[in-house]
Amino acid sequence: MKYKRILLKLSGEALMGSQNYGIDSERLSMYSNEISKVVNKGIQVAVVIGGGNIFRGMQAEKTGIDRVQGDYMGMLATVINGMALQGSLEAHGIYTRLMSGIKMDQICEPFIRRRAVRHLEKNRVVIFGAGTGNPYFTTDSAASLRAIEIEADVVLKGTRVDGVYNADPEKNPDATRFSSISYEEVYQKDLKVMDMTAFTLCKENDLPIIVFDMNTPGNLQRIVMGEEIGTLISM
């Protein structure tokens, strides 16, 4: 096993599947299945999930709601997704804890680092909801921050593309994929891996990132076993 403790970042948008809003039950179940395979191998798994399928802070400004208010709405959306994933993982027989960056005692625990680590040691999947708990951040930043706090070996950013390309592969058929790349080259080439705040946090703490296609069954397991899948970003 190459990695013992991972932080998996899933976008909220991916949860929509083929729908244009909300949560697609097939996609949700597929993600739980993928996660359960690695948990059953004894890998410690933490998850940060986005909220873009329900609400994004930026979206609020268009409707006349101020940005900060919108960001809090976005954070609540990530808790809804976290609860969905929790429910689905439990249906797959996996023990879970949902921890939130904003206190909501009736539905989840507050984020307490030492507790999160203890849950992981007991092989519970820990889902971090409500992002960082602060406006003006993204769930990518939450993923980097929590990964550093719990001393994860790697951030696995599950997307619908199979890695980082030198151009947008969905627009440019000649785009080529990097199998590995340094943090420095990502800056130089202005590649879109994560937003800069999130990315810099990883770089400064020497936390490797792997961008990979989460929609291909088995990929998550292959990565933790050490197969070179997607794009590895490291020193």
Residue closer to ligand UDP by CB (options 168, 184) is: 168
Of residues 139, 154, 162, 148, the one with CA closest to residue 85: 139
Residue closer to ligand UDP by CB (options 127, 182) is: 127
Cα angle 127, 129, 134; round to 5: 145
Q: In the bound complex, what is the minimum distance in angstroms from residue 223's beta carbon to ligand UDP?
A: 19
Residue closer to ligand UDP by CB (options 80, 232) is: 80
Q: In the bound complex, what is the minimum distance in angstroms from residue 69's beta carbon to ligand UDP?
A: 10
Residue closer to ligand UDP by CB (options 134, 216) is: 134
State the distance between the two ends of the chain, measured CA to CA, in whole angstroms.
21
- Using Cβ positions, the residue closest to ligand UDP within the complex turns out to be 50
Binding positions for ligand UDP, rule: CB under 6 A: 11-13, 50-52, 56-57, 70-71, 74-75, 77-78, 131-132, 134-135, 137-139, 141-142
Of residues 2, 151, 14, the one with CA closest to residue 84: 14
How long is the chain? Answer: 235
Helix (H, G, I), strand (E, B) or coil at 124: coil
Residue closer to ligand UDP by CB (options 62, 235) is: 62
Q: In the bound complex, what is the minimum distance in angstroms from residue 22's beta carbon to ligand UDP?
A: 12
Q: In the bound complex, what is the minimum distance in angstroms from residue 52's beta carbon to ligand UDP?
A: 3
Residues 6+ apart with CB under 8 A from 53: 12, 13, 14, 15, 16, 21, 22, 23, 77, 81
Sign of CA dihedral 131, 137, 140, 146: negative
Pull the structure tokens for residue 215: 């929609």
Alpha helix (H) ranges present in 180-233? 183-188, 196-204, 219-225
Residue closer to ligand UDP by CB (options 95, 136) is: 136
Residue closer to ligand UDP by CB (options 82, 131) is: 131
**HSE, side-chain direction, 13 A CA sphere, residue 91:** 13
Q: In the bound complex, what is the minimum distance in angstroms from residue 68's beta carbon to ligand UDP?
A: 8
Q: In the bound complex, what is the minimum distance in angstroms from residue 168's beta carbon to ligand UDP?
A: 17
Q: In the bound complex, what is the minimum distance in angstroms from residue 47's beta carbon to ligand UDP?
A: 12
- 4 and 44 in contact (C-beta within 8 Å)? yes
